[in-house]
Structures are given as structure tokens and as C-alpha cells.
Amino acid sequence: MSGTFTIVGLGPGDPELITRKAARLIGEADVVAYHAGVRKSSHARRIAADLIPDTAIEEELRYPVTTGSTDHPGGYVGALADFYEASADRMTAHLDADRTVVLLAEGDPLFYGSAMYLHDRLSPDYATTVVPGVPAYAAATAALGTPLVRQDDVLTVLAGTLPEPELARRLADTDGAVIMKLGRTFPAVRRALHAAGRLDGAWYVERASMPEAQWRRVADVDPSTVPYFSLIVVPGDAVHHDDPRRMRNGIDAAAAAPQPRQARELLVVGLGPGPADWVTPEVSAALAEVDHLIGYAPYVNRVPQRPGLQRHASGNTVEVDRARHALTLARDGERVAVVSGGDAGVFGMAAAVFEAAEDPEFADVPVRVLPGVSAIQAVAARAGAPIGADFAVMSLSDRLKPWTVIADRLRAVAEADLVLGIYNPASRSRREQIVAARDVLLAHRRADTVVIVGRDVGRDEETLTVTTLGALDPATIDMKCLLIIGASSTRVTANGRVWSPRSVTAQPVAP
């Protein structure tokens, strides 16, 4: 026999927001447990005080530390891990004695709550249930009396402990937002809101639902007065305040409807392979002027957030849809940049934009492509000068062209004895192409042909491997790699540098 373990959400602070189910379970409990801060009384117990039976055993779980400073050998994480283990042992003793144990949790138990760590430890061995509670952000939104999200808005809940640039990026990418975990993080959070262009519509709410609750605009808050029981609400209406489709009262739909504007030039830019200092000054200047940024999410994320910049990130296989979105915004008078990794004209977004721009509805939208450092340039520079002579560049992806075409082109390049750069050599679902490509090349090239494998060049995880065509292991190749296959004239120096002479006197060497 063993007891039952129940975690009950108490809501944000007002005892009247405790659910009827939570109240019943607290009243029936043999043991009532609750967390308490260092040298502080338990807020959870204060909320549920009138419901705790006189016969209940109370277990106060007092944190050993609430900041990152501790003498524990395992640091802050180690101190809390030991605390949760000890707390679980205390609960286990009651459960093994067949007692019903109720753990009080402020807000909702599984929403940034400490209760989840006891749930992790006890639920595998004991009957465990969770009773949801009203989350703090719901009470904060109710206090403001302003809709948080409406229609097809996206809501993002963020921790204020996130790095400031990441916080700014995510704020710029959403409609409505809630930011938790303030206190000491408040200054950085406010800077992130400003960088995302969301500061004007952001509201600070303190002790929502409690008698001492207060709220004001984030821009008017003194950072030194921000307690832990506070959060920030950014309503979706703040970013869409003049959209007549949102059916808000007081908006004249006719007056608010967007007026036709002259089409603007659409920019398509290459960000280079990775490092910020490989972005050209021309591209940096262009990105500082646009109002909309469109691209594959990892590339969009590389551009620092700033006030007024709206980001439109999408997946990896919707290039033409992404291009149409950019062209539509530019047609309507918006300043837009489409971003690609490397150079936008080398297996990047430039071709997709021109493909979409063939639609007559975009006839008035001029398109300008700004060059970037391409991946093959970066890998070649790291290796030496392997593309110092004639070379070709191919993609092994057969998503947009059949493998028979790729194989024919591989044979033609091999027979012409050109240095070959290979993009998109393999992926998780596409493993056979690199094996077939190696076999095609070996039919026309010597097994000792130089091969360079560049992985994540320009990033912290960068590796560069010089091998041969015969020794190339396809199992080690993925989408993070770019390959350079040398010509018969390509050489490797004594210290491992690879280069291809500009003058060619020898004929192609058969395998």
C-alpha cells in the first residue's frame, strides 16, 4: 500500500481563484506540503491557509538558495538538485505510510513551477495527479482588461533569463508575448523590448490578483522596484493596432485600411557562411534600413534585432512561397530584404525570388541582389587555393532535379578534369547520393584525387579534412559539409595546404 501524491495549482494569489477541485483535495489531505523562500514565509501556504485542515501534517520545503551564489560544491544547480532529492525523500516517507500528500503550487504547477521537480522524482513510483491552476499571466491580462491575443495571433511565453539578443529576436517574431522571471533581469528585458520595437505596447504587472496589485507601462517602471512576483504582458493588439480586420471598437475601417503605395525595391542578400565579420558592409548597411526580414529561420536568426524590424522566418523547403511573401510586401511599399546564407545567388534565394517575380502581379517590383561570401569561397580559403584554376559547382540535392541529370553532370565535370565544389552532399533522409557521386567520379578520376571536406566553416564547430577520393567515407558527410574534389593538377603542399595551378599542361589522367 502507498499513498497518493497530488500537486494542486493555487492560481496567482487571490484565494478565490483556487478551483473547487483543488480546495476539496487540500481539505481532504493527510499531508500538506509547500515551498518557501530563504528567510521568507510561504506564499503558497498564505493563499491556501483557510483550506488546510487542522489535522493535516504540514511540510515546509524551504529553498537553500534563491540566487546563483552558493558554497555548494555543485554550485546553484547542485544545491537545488540536493534540495529536491531531500524534499522527495520527505514526501516518500509519507507516501509509504499510505498518506495522501498534497503539494501546493502557486499559479499552474507545470508552468515554470518548482512542483514539477518533485513530480519528476515521485510520479514513476507513486500514483500522482496534477490539478491545474490559473496561471499568473491570465490574471495579469485580466487586470489590464486588454486582449492578449485574438484571431490568428501567435502567443509566445518567454523567460526573462534568456540572453538579451535571443529575447529581442523572439519578441520581434511574435504577436502577443508574456515575459516571466523578472526581478534582476528587468533592465535587460526592457532593452530587448526596445530592440524588438515592442516597448511602447508592453505592460508591467506586479502581484496580479493580489490586493496590492499594480500595473503600468514598462517604459515607466523603476528597475530597482521590480519584485519576483511580476511579469510583462505584450498584447497582440499593440503590434496590429491599426489593422481593421481585428474588429476592434473605435477603429474606422475605411480610414485604417492600407492605402496603395508605390512598390519598393526588393533586396536579396547573402550573409556569408557564418561569422558576423564575413557579412559585407554593403549587406550590413542594407539590413539596417529595411523594415522586414524574410528567410529560412537559421539565417533570419543571424541578423541582430533592432527597433522596427519585423522578422518572417520559415522552413527550408518553401523558397518560392517565401519569395512571394517578400515580393508582396515590396509591392505594397514595404522595405524588405530576403536573406540567404553564403551568397544568395549560389543555390540561394535569389533564383527563387526571380522565379516568383515572373508572376505579372509583381511586374512593378524591382529586385536587387547583393553578393555575399559563398561557402565554397570560405572552404577554399581555409584549405589554400584549390579553386585557383577552372572549377565547377554542383548540388547533390535531387529535390528540384532528377538524379539522372546530376549523374550526367558529374560525369561531364569529371571528364573535363575540373575542380568540383559539391553543395548539399547528404542529409538525414538522403544518404545514397554521396555514395553514388563518389562512384561516378572514381570511374573518371584516380583514387588519390585530393578531396577537401569543410564542415561548419566559419563557426565554432569548424573542421577541415583533406583526404582522397578513394578514402572518402560517405558516412561522415552531412548537410553541414561542403566538398571540393580536386582536378588531376591539384596539389597538396608538405604542410597540408591544397592548391590548383592556374596553368594546365597535363592531359586528364584516367583512373
Residues 153 and 219 in one domain: yes
Cα dihedral across residues 88, 89, 92, 97: positive or negative = negative
State how far the Cα of 106 lies from the Cα of 115, in Å rounded to an integer.
9
pLDDT at 322 over 70: yes
Co-location of 427 and 320 in the same domain: no
On whether residue 253 sits in a domain, the answer given is no
Q: Write down which residue in 370, 391, 409 finishes a domain.
A: 370
248 band by pLDDT with thresholds 50, 70 and 90 = low
- The confidence score (pLDDT) of residue 507 equals 53
Q: How far apart are CA 379 and CA 395, in angstroms?
A: 15
Does 247 reside within a domain?
no
**Do 37 and 127 fall within a single domain?**
yes
| Residue 313 exposed, middle or buried by CB count within 10 Å (0-12, 13-18, 19+) | middle
Phi, psi of 253 (to 5 degrees): -60, -40
**Percent of the chain predicted with pLDDT > 70:** 94
Instruction: Give me the number of domains the chain comprises.
Output: 4
Claim to verify: residue 353 and residue 406 sit in the same structural domain: no
Residue in this structure with the C-alpha cell 545514397, named with its chain if needed: 432
Assess if residue 408 is contained within a domain.
yes
| 258 confidence band (pLDDT: 50, 70, 90) | low
Residue type, 228: Y
Locate 66 and state its grid cell: 534563491
Residue written as grid cell 540566487: 67
Grid coordinates belonging to 416: 573535363
The yes-or-no verdict on residue 288 having pLDDT over 50 is yes
* Distance from C-alpha of 455 to C-alpha of 450, rounded to nearest angstrom: 16
Q: What is the mean pLDDT of the chain?
A: 91
- The pLDDT value recorded for residue 231 is 95
Same domain, 97 and 145: no
Q: Are residues 386 and 290 in the same domain?
A: no
pLDDT value of position 244: 63
Inform me whether the pLDDT recorded for 510 exceeds 60: no
> Cα 150 vs. chain centroid, distance in angstroms?
23
* Residue 506, pLDDT score: 53
Q: Hunting for cell 573518371 — which residue is that?
A: 444
Cell numbers linked to 221: 517602471
Q: CA-to-CA distance for 319 and 347, rounded, in angstroms? A: 11
105 φ/ψ angles, rounded to the nearest 5 degrees: -135, 130
Same structural domain, 128 and 36: yes
In terms of Cβ atoms closer than 10 Å to its own Cβ (0-12, 13-18, 19+), residue 352 is: buried
User: For the chain, how big is the Rg over CA atoms in Å?
Assistant: 30
Higher pLDDT pick, 400 / 267: 267
pLDDT in tens, 402-457: 999 999 999 999 999 999 999 999 988 888 999 999 999 999 999 999 999 999 99
Confidence of residue 281 (pLDDT cuts 50, 70, 90): very high
Helix H or strand E encompassing 399: none
Q: What is the DSSP string of 143-191?
A: HHT--S--TT--EEEEETTS-HHHHHHHHHT-SEEEEE--GGGHHHHHH
Same domain as 26, residue 13: yes
Residue 36: Cβ-neighbour burial (10 angstroms; 0-12, 13-18, 19+)? middle
Could you give the angle at the alpha carbon of 71 between the alpha carbons of 65 and 72, nearest 5°? Answer: 75
Its pTM stands at 0.71
pLDDT for residue 257: 52
Distance in angstroms (rounded) separating the CA atoms of residues 192 and 159: 12
Residue 274 and residue 306 in contact, taking contact as beta carbons nearer than 8 Å: no
Q: Are residues 119 and 228 in the same domain?
A: no
Query: Which tens digit of pLDDT belongs to each residue from 334-369?
Result: 999 999 999 999 999 999 999 999 999 999 999 999
- Model pLDDT, residue 431: 85
**CA distance linking residue 471 with residue 473, whole number of Å:** 6
Instruction: Report residue 411 as a C-alpha cell.
Output: 560525369
Return phi, psi of residue 40, to 5°: -130, 150
Per residue in 31-63, pLDDT (tens digit) is 999 999 888 899 999 999 999 999 999 999 999
Residue 86 forms part of a structural domain? yes
CB of 139 closer than 8 Å to CB of 17: yes
Percent of the chain with pLDDT over 90: 76
Confidence label for 206 from pLDDT (cuts 50, 70 and 90): very high
* 244 is a domain residue: no
Of the residues 345, 370, 395, the one at which a domain ends: 370
For 221-241, write each residue's pLDDT tens digit.
999 899 878 999 999 988 776
- Tens-place pLDDT, residues 79-104: 999 999 999 999 999 999 999 999 99
What's 425's domain CATH number?
3.30.950.10
Strand partners, 467: 451
Q: What string of DSSP letters covers 463-479?
A: EEEEEETTT--GGG--T
**Any idea what the CATH number is for the domain that residue 35 is in?**
3.40.1010.10
In a domain, 93, yes or no: yes
- The C-alpha cell at 363 is 511586374
Q: Residue 442 has what pLDDT? A: 95
Tell me the CA distances in angstroms from 46 to 36, 43, 152, 213, one per residue in order: 11, 5, 38, 16
User: Does residue 504 sit within a domain?
Assistant: no
Across-strand partners of 466?
A: 452
Q: Is there a single domain that holds both residue 420 and residue 446?
A: yes
Q: Could you tell me if 105 and 152 lie in one domain?
A: no
- Is 31 found in the same domain as 149? no
Domain termination site, one of 370, 392, 418: 370
Contacts made by residues 168-174, CB under 8 angstroms, sequence distance 24+: 168/192, 168/193, 168/195, 168/196, 168/305, 169/196, 169/301, 169/305, 169/311, 171/196, 171/198, 171/234, 171/305, 172/196, 172/197, 172/198, 172/305, 172/309, 172/310, 172/311, 173/311, 173/313
251 lies in some domain: no
**How far apart are the C-alpha atoms of 460 and 456, rounded to whole Å?**
8
Residue 253: per-residue pLDDT: 46
For 363: left if phi > 0, alpha if psi spans -120 to 50, otherwise beta; the answer is alpha
DSSP summary character for residue 341: S
Containing domain of residue 397, as a range?
376-499
Q: Environment class of residue 86 by beta-carbon count within 10 Å: exposed (0-12), middle (13-18) or buried (19+)?
A: exposed
